[in-house]
Structures are given as C-alpha cells and as structure tokens.
Amino acid sequence: MEELSVQSFETWNTWAQYIAMAFTALAGLIVLGHIFKLGATSDAKKKYDYINRSEISVLLSAGIVLIIAGGFYFNSNIVELTVLMVFVRIFVTIMMGLIMGVIIHNLLKFYYPFYIEKRLRTLRFKPRISPKTGKPMKLLSEDEEDVYLDEGMQAEEEIYSVDYDVWVDEETGYTKIEKYAGHLHALQCPECNYQTFKVNREEIVRQPTVADEGELIKHFECQYCGYKARKSYHIATLNSPVNSGAEKSTPATA
C-alpha cells in the first residue's frame, strides 16, 4: 500500500509539471500572439485602437494563466501527503495565487498606463503617409480642422466626448479624419498622484444658445484612492443659421 502511494505521488508530480509547462507555454503564446498582432498592424490608428482596447486585458489573461502554471508547479514536488497537508497545500496555493493576481492587476491598472500612454501618444501623432503621393501628411490644428468636420463632429468636440484629428495631403487635398475618445486615459490624481483620475460622468447644466454659452460639469473620481472632484467647462454658443451657412460655403470656396 505504501509503495502504491509513492507511485501515485510520482505520477501526480510528473503530470503536474507537464500541466505547469503547458500553462506556461500558453501564457507565452498569448503574449507572442499579441506581439505578432502589433507587428502585423502597420496602420498607426488601427494599432492605437488595438493597444487601447486590448493590451491590458491580454497581459492580464497571460498573467492569470501564468499564476495557474505556478500553482501546479508548486504542487509538483509531493513526497508525503496527509489529509491536513492536502488542505494546507490547497489553502497556500489559493492564497499565493490571489496575492500574485492582485499584484499583477494593480501593476497593470495603476502603473502600466504611464507606459502605455506614451506609446499611444507616439502612435497618435506619428505622421500619416498619403496613399496618393506617399509623402507625410499635415496634422491640422484645432482651428484649421473645423473646416473638415461637420456640425455633429464639432459638437462632440465642444463637449469633449470625442476628439478628431484631421490629416491633409496638401498636394492632392486628400483628407483622413481619425476619431479618438475625448479622454485618452486617466489623469494624474491631485490627491495620491497616481494616473488614475478619470471622468466618472458628465452633465450639461446649461444648454448653449445662439446668444449664450452653455456649461458642462465633469465629475472626476480616482480609481485608486477614491478622491472626487468636479470641474466646469464652457460650451461654445450655437452657430446662427446665417453663420452656419457661411461656414459650409468656406470649403467649397477653397
């Protein structure tokens, strides 16, 4: 009976190591797949969107898989086992997994955005190449780009819900308009100084008219320390029908 027990442990230890290696390989494949996806995406805007949408979740998934691999590896060296040791190993494995999970989650949520923000800014303002001439295009300023945005787009920018970048090929007139979220990532919290200060909600407390500006209140909340604040923003007056018609005729005249 004792010999059978030892053999059972050896079998478990061997399979636990195999499973640990399999999960480690899976975590590596997840990361490599992400890197391959980035390398295969040449368009800066598509790469920006993919990083912004998926990178943190992909890395978190890889981290969880790696934690599972560590749990199996930790339990692949059993020599002697009692009922008490079964519960001890299960408890220690779960606790260590939770601790490592919290560490990885916090690193990705509170520290990694500093790194990812720099990459996103580089991608966003990387010169676009015109498909017409093969030359770098010009990024228009906020004042210049309004000519290329319709009234709905301008309204989105005025309330900071969306931000548009307009790139123009000055030789051919080819135009590329890219849409971004009004707030890239969290701002730096004035209380804890982490970059975790996000807009929680927005409300328009006074609608703009042709004669008067409107007012927008943004409610901020820190995702780390819970600090809350709000800030008032002015919304530009609405264009009168006469002015709107004049603005529309400007691109045609140019």
162: left (phi over 0), alpha (psi -120 to 50) or beta: beta
Same domain, 11 and 120: yes
Cα(254)–Cα(252) distance, integer angstroms:
5
Same domain, 46 and 95: yes
Same domain, 71 and 86: yes
By the 8 A CB rule, do 207 and 170 touch?
Answer: no
Phi (first) and psi of residue 235, to 5 degrees: -105, 130
For residue range 114-139, list pLDDT tens digits in order: 888 889 988 988 889 999 999 999 99
CATH of the domain at 201: 2.20.25
By the 8 A CB rule, do 145 and 166 touch?
Answer: yes
Q: Does residue 245 carry a pLDDT above 60?
A: no
Same domain, 26 and 116: yes
Same domain, 196 and 96: no
Q: pTM for the whole thing?
A: 0.67
pLDDT of residue 163: 81
Q: Which residue segment(s) compose the domain that 100 sits in?
A: 2-124
Paired with 206 in beta bridges are 215
Same domain, 13 and 43: yes
Q: Give me the chain's average pLDDT, please.
A: 82
Tokens representing residue 79 in the block: 């020599």
25 or 145: which carries more pLDDT confidence? Answer: 25
Is residue 151 domain-resident?
yes
Percentage of the chain lying above the pLDDT 90 cut? 39
Segment 185-202 shows an average pLDDT of 73
Same domain, 13 and 106: yes
Segment 183-193 shows an average pLDDT of 69
Is residue 254 domain-resident?
no
For the ranges 38-52, 60-74, 203-217, the lowest mean pLDDT is seen at 203-217
Helix extents (H) in the chain: 2-40, 44-50, 56-74, 83-106, 112-124, 142-145, 151-158, 241-253
Is residue 248 domain-resident?
no
The total of structural domains in the chain comes to 3
Same domain, 82 and 26: yes
